[in-house]
Structure 1
């Protein structure tokens, strides 16, 4: 299948949408979201106080004036800070994206080998995804737990991609249910390239909010605090999403869902 067919394949594009949502749920989960400000500071090498001073804001995001209008020579400019925030966050996202993509590439390749038994494979994956969803809801203990990175590279831009890779490996116990669902979908899709595509979709959902937070930083702290207060709802929504996908795969509704989406959105030219 050519690249255009890969992106516009019916089941794949639906799975990609689910993967993006799974990535967003992972970002908003209680064991990732609270650590985002610390990661932003670490991958950029900019402390919170220096960031406030460079952007001319206080910790709440309100503008402040410099004393007497005199600039400090060693203080980074607003443009420099913005550029560093963008570069550091994107390098961090690239690091964990590489890890997740390689893993999904392998799972997709395995699915390609087993593609002749697609119906059975789809049911097995569906059952596993339901288990992941129940684990995310806390019904099954041990499937979602916090983890901590034991070793950290040097802070700043040079270590940002490596820290992203370490994050991808060290936080698998935390994002396991959502990532496991994506890997299951990658296996069902039956191809290494398809698996990699779904992993990239997952990383979009997980990584884009990280970059947006880095650029907004202090201004978004209030919004993120509100999300943290309602983290139980994030977990519930994520768990229900995973269980719904698992049920669709287990009982053969997945293909019906794809056909329905094709008919509603007028994409009958997509290959199934």
Structure 2
């Protein structure tokens, strides 16, 4: 039994290394989470949070602060699952493209890195507000928990142009991973950054309003920070520094065995 257990542990550790620690994920996952946070606090998402919470819970806006936390958490979680399904499919698709186009990956990564820099500038408002537009669906699903996943899907599709700069940066990293599984994992991290604040706002709505007010007063700095992050990622990709950082992490991760 001990030998069998040891063999299973080694196999699990190797699988963990190949899936999570290989490639750029160690570097890219925190960036994806941060990109999700920036998306949540952007001007085209944050002001709409009370309205979304009202729709996915079936509770009127004036009663959100007094609603049961269980219902609020359930509605927010179903909403998050809806848009996560959409964004993860994007990440898997870009990761698969990276694998399919492996021969041209270096050139395409540099092109996507340059586009990420442009997106970062646009996110900061340097290139105008065209990237802040969104396609809104005028037909809303029925209010309440039953309609929450569908509203999440509609958010994922309809708000993609609005949060496009940050999502594009994450999908560029997914392409660089050259793996559908790792690309999907990367967008799961993005959805955590975007979704956890939704969930926290749902279970602590009254306190969240105070935090939202502070962010609204500092929107300019939120957008600048997000834009600078994307520009930095784009520069790393274009100059090849990203690949060198990955190389160093791969050497480190090859000697790392998690304590399973």
Name the TM-score, length of structure 2 as normaliser: 0.87
Structure 2 residue 62 is the aligned partner of structure 1 residue 11: no
- Does structure 1 conserve the Cα–Cα contact (< 8 Å) formed by 2:32 and 2:187? yes
Structure 2 residue 194 is the aligned partner of structure 1 residue 206: yes
Structure 2 residue 85 is the aligned partner of structure 1 residue 98: yes
| Inter-partner Cα distance in structure 2 for 1:139 and 1:181 | 17
Structure 2 residue 184 is the aligned partner of structure 1 residue 171: no
Segments ≥4 residues shifted beyond 4 Å: 259-263
- Residues 106-145 of structure 1, C-alpha deviations (whole Å, 9 max, x = no match): 1111111111223212211211111111111122235522
- 1:1-272 counterparts in 2 under 5 A? 2=15, 4-54=17-67, 81-141=68-128, 143-147=130-134, 148-259=136-247, 267=253, 269=255
| Inter-partner Cα distance in structure 2 for 1:31 and 1:145 | 7
Do the aligned partners of residues 117 and 223 (structure 1) sit closer, same or farther apart at CA in structure 2, a change above 3 Å counting? Answer: same
Residue 103 of structure 1: CA displacement? 1.5
Greater shift in the superposed pair: 221-230 or 11-20: 11-20
- Does structure 1 conserve the Cα–Cα contact (< 8 Å) formed by 2:22 and 2:250? no
- Residues 159-217 of structure 1, C-alpha deviations (whole Å, 9 max, x = no match): 00000000001101110000011111111110111111111111000001110111100
- Residues 65-89 of structure 1, C-alpha deviations (whole Å, 9 max, x = no match): xxxxxxxxxxxxxxxx111111100
Structure 2: unaligned runs, 5 residues or longer = 1-13
Which structure has the larger Rg over C-alpha atoms?
A: 1
Residue 25 of structure 1: CA displacement? 0.3
- Residues 144-165 of structure 1, C-alpha deviations (whole Å, 9 max, x = no match): 2232332210110000000000
- Does structure 1 conserve the Cα–Cα contact (< 8 Å) formed by 2:170 and 2:186? yes
Higher helix proportion (structure 1 or 2): 2
- Residues 2-35 of structure 1, C-alpha deviations (whole Å, 9 max, x = no match): 4552122251221111111100000000110011
Do the aligned partners of residues 51 and 132 (structure 1) sit closer, same or farther apart at CA in structure 2, a change above 3 Å counting? Answer: closer
